[in-house]
Amino acid sequence: MVLDVERATCISRKCIPPFPDHTNCVLPFGALLLACSGLAQTSAAASAVVAVPVVNMFSAGNTDSDVVSQAIYGTTVVVLEEGLGWARVRTPDQYTGWLRTDEVRQISSSALRNFRQDRAGEWPDGEPLS
């Protein structure tokens, strides 16, 4: 290896050669990183809206477990997992817990936009809000 003194960094009379030119690796690595970060976003999480005045969120999918948080009527939650009448959800303030599926309404992203614009009225399926 030939030391290019003009590009070398000299500290205390010790010359350190410049880093090898890896600019040709940056684009493929950046593209890979971008593709991988998009994988988590490609599967759109289902949304639901709290359909009762106040819903308890539990640490597990049963009423015998600890209440970890609550969500109020009209709060949009992200459904992370579902099973046997229970859904594990995350609230907008990043609390995660289990609630009964009969206390929320699943909602599509387009219906969610409309619902946010006009909370008074009907659910996206035409049923009156109650």
The domain 46-117: what is its CATH number? 2.30.30.40
Single out the residue of 86, 87, 57 nearest to residue 71, CA to CA.
57
Q: Is the pTM of this model over 0.75?
A: no
Q: Residue-wise pLDDT tens for the chain (130 aa)?
A: 555 555 555 555 555 555 555 555 545 555 444 444 444 333 467 899 999 999 999 999 999 999 999 999 999 999 999 999 999 999 999 999 999 999 999 987 666 666 555 555 555 555 655 5
As a whole number of angstroms, the distance between CA 99 and CA 86 comes to 6
As a whole number of angstroms, the distance between CA 48 and CA 94 comes to 15
Are 125 and 110 contacting, i.e. CB atoms less than 8 angstroms apart? no
Residue spans per domain, the chain: 9-42, 46-117
Say if strands 104-107 and 46-50 run parallel, antiparallel, or are unpaired. Answer: antiparallel
